[in-house]
Structure 1
Amino acid sequence: MGVCRAAPATGDPRVHRTPHSRERGIVLVPLTRYPGPVQVFKQVLAHREPKLVTPSGYAWLFVLAVELRLVPGTNDTALRPGEVAEFATSTPHWFGPAHAEAVEILHLFGPTATSPSTARTQAPRARQVPRSAGSSASHDGVPTASACAEGG
Structure 2
Amino acid sequence: MDDDLDRMLTAIGPRLRSLRRDRGITLEALSAETGISVSALSRLESGKRRPTLELLVPLARAHRVALDQIIAAPASGDPRVHLAPQRHRNGSVVVPLTQYPGRLQVFKQVIAPRKPKLVTHAGYEWLYVLAGDLRLVLGENDVTLRPGEAAEFDTHEPHWFGPVGDRPVEILHMFGPQGERMRVRARPTEVAVARQSHT
Q: What TM-score does the superposition give when structure 2 sets the normalisation length?
A: 0.56
Distance in 2 of aligned mates of 1:94 and 1:113 = 17
Which structure: larger Rg? 2
Tell me what 1:59 maps to.
125
Q: Which runs of 5+ in 1 are unaligned?
A: 1-12, 133-152
Counterpart among 97, 100, 103 of residue 31 in structure 1: 97
Tell me what 2:48 maps to.
none
More helix per residue: 1 or 2? 2
Tell me what 1:128 maps to.
195
Tell me what 1:74 maps to.
140
Spell out the pairing of 1:39-50 with structure 2 (5 A cutoff): 39-50=105-116
- The one-letter amino acid paired with 2:120 is T
Per the alignment, do residues 100 and 120 of structure 1 end up closer, same or farther by CA in structure 2, a change over 3 Å counting? same
- The one-letter amino acid paired with 2:133 is E
- The one-letter amino acid paired with 1:18 is A
More strand per residue: 1 or 2? 1
Distance in 2 of aligned mates of 1:120 and 1:86 = 6
1:117, distance to aligned residue in structure 2 (A): 3.6
Distance in 2 of aligned mates of 1:63 and 1:118 = 15
Counterpart among 150, 155, 178 of residue 84 in structure 1: 150
Q: Which runs of 5+ in 2 are unaligned?
A: 1-78
Matched pairs, number: 120
1:110, distance to aligned residue in structure 2 (A): 0.8
Bigger RCO of structures 1 and 2 (CA < 8 A, at least 6 apart): 1
Residues 90-124 of structure 1: CA distance to partner in whole angstroms, max 9, x if unpaired? 00000000121100000000134422248434321
Distance in 2 of aligned mates of 1:108 and 1:70 = 15
Distance in 2 of aligned mates of 1:37 and 1:105 = 20
Per the alignment, do residues 49 and 119 of structure 1 end up closer, same or farther by CA in structure 2, a change over 3 Å counting? closer
Instruction: Verify the 8 A CA contact 1:88 1:112 in the aligned structure 2.
Output: no
Percent identical among aligned pairs is: 53
- The one-letter amino acid paired with 1:130 is S
Segment of structure 1 superposing worse, 40-49 or 107-116:
107-116
Tell me what 1:10 maps to.
none
